[in-house]
């Protein structure tokens, strides 16, 4: 079978998912309940803490997040109530979404699992860069930048899950080609199905559009595109990228945040790699 014919077979599998998206995952019940509670202005810290405590893994993640460079304080909270008070409910909601993503695409095939692990590592690295950049640029909450960064590529995980029942697994090169063709469409369908805020859905559509920005100060999509640029620059041997200075997001940056390092990337990223690594370790 030639490469072109094989790619058409893979495309047909993806198209079936696009045509009948009932097979795409729904958010876990606990995630939905927490999101509803956060959206309710009458929800108290104790009420939210009781909900969060139903998921021990989520509770542990929030405790780790509170101790990460995003929030590290002199006196660390020792209870989930203290964590919620420190982080704030919107930030808790962002971490809850991040926590949900990895478990939504169960993959048991060894070859697919290898692709998934590679993809997740890249995504969490990009998300951690987004959180760090957001924090340094005073974007609040910084966790929203991390979550939006992950959501902007959730379609790449959906591409993988489309092959979970298939015996024929695409190569890494073919998988990335399928992602270029279909991940944004799948991501938009998923986020719409999950009733995610339109602003986050727009990040899927505009992620990687280097000349796209929004009026006013540095926005969420600016942070995401700066993080994506840095990730591509670091993870691809021959990245086909414009100059950093030519990015619409970069042109909004003021001194000292617009300083460029010797490799052509943002100095606020290269100077704080230890913080990025620590954030990555929290969510890996």
pLDDT tens for residues 174-232?
Answer: 888 888 888 888 889 889 888 888 888 888 889 999 999 999 999 999 999 999 999 99
pLDDT at 132 over 60: yes
**Residue 3 included in any domain:** no
Across the chain, mean pLDDT equals 88
Domain identity same for 275 and 195: yes
State the sign of the Cα–Cα–Cα–Cα dihedral 189, 194, 198, 200. Answer: negative
CB 145 within 8 A of CB 227: yes
CB 221 within 8 A of CB 120: no
Task: Write down the pLDDT at residue 3.
Answer: 60
CB 157 within 8 A of CB 84: no
Domain identity same for 266 and 155: yes
The pLDDT tens digits of the residues spanning 84-127 come to 999 899 889 888 988 888 788 878 888 888 888 888 888 999 99
Domain identity same for 54 and 120: no
Nearest residue to 276 (alpha-carbon basis) of 129, 136, 126: 129
Q: Which structural domain range is residue 69 located in?
A: 28-89
pTM tops 0.95? no
Phi, psi angles (nearest 5°) of residue 243? -65, 145
**Residue 96 included in any domain:** no
Which pair of tokens denotes residue 260? Answer: 């460029």
Domain identity same for 167 and 251: yes
Domain identity same for 120 and 75: no
Calculate mean pLDDT across residues 277-284.
86
CATH code at 227? 1.10.3210.10
Between the CA of residue 27 and those of 45, 57, 70, what are the distances in Å? 23, 16, 26
**What residues contact 103, with CB distance under 8 A and at least 6 apart?**
28
Give the count of beta carbons closer than 10 Å to the beta carbon of residue 165.
9
Task: Write down the pLDDT at residue 73.
Answer: 67
Last residue of a domain, which of 89, 113, 132? 89
CA dihedral 237, 238, 243, 247 (to 10 degrees): -80
141 cis-preceded (ω within 30 degrees of 0): yes
**Residue 99 included in any domain:** no
Domain identity same for 62 and 139: no
Last residue of a domain, which of 89, 119, 138? 89
């Amino acid at each position: 079978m030639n490469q072109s014919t094989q790619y058409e077979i893979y495309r047909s599998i993806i198209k079936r998912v696009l045509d009948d998206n009932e097979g795409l995952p729904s958010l876990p019940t606990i995630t939905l309940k927490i999101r509803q509670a956060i959206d309710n202005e009458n929800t108290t810290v104790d009420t939210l803490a009781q909900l969060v405590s139903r998921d021990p893994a989520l509770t542990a993640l929030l405790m780790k997040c509170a101790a990460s460079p995003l929030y590290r304080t002199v006196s660390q909270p020792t209870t989930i109530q203290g964590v919620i008070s420190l982080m704030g409910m919107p930030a808790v909601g962002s971490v809850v979404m991040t926590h949900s993503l990895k478990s939504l695409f169960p993959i048991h095939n060894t070859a697919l699992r290898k692709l998934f692990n590679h993809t997740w590592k890249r995504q969490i690295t990009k998300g951690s860069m987004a959180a760090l950049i957001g924090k340094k640029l005073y974007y609040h909450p910084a966790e929203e930048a991390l979550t939006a960064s992950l959501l902007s590529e959730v379609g790449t995980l959906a591409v993988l899950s489309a092959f979970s029942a298939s015996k024929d697994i695409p190569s890494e090169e073919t998988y990335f080609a399928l992602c270029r063709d279909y991940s944004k469409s799948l991501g938009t369908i998923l986020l719409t199905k999950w009733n995610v805020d339109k602003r986050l859905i727009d990040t899927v559509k505009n992620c990687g559009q280097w000349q796209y920005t929004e009026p006013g100060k540095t926005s969420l999509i600016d942070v995401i595109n700066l993080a994506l640029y840095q990730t591509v620059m670091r993870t691809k041997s021959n990245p086909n990228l414009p100059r950093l200075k030519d990015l619409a997001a970069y042109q909004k940056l003021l001194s000292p945040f617009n300083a460029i390092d010797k490799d052509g990337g943002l100095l606020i990223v290269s100077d704080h790699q230890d913080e990025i690594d620590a954030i990555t370790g929290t969510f890996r």
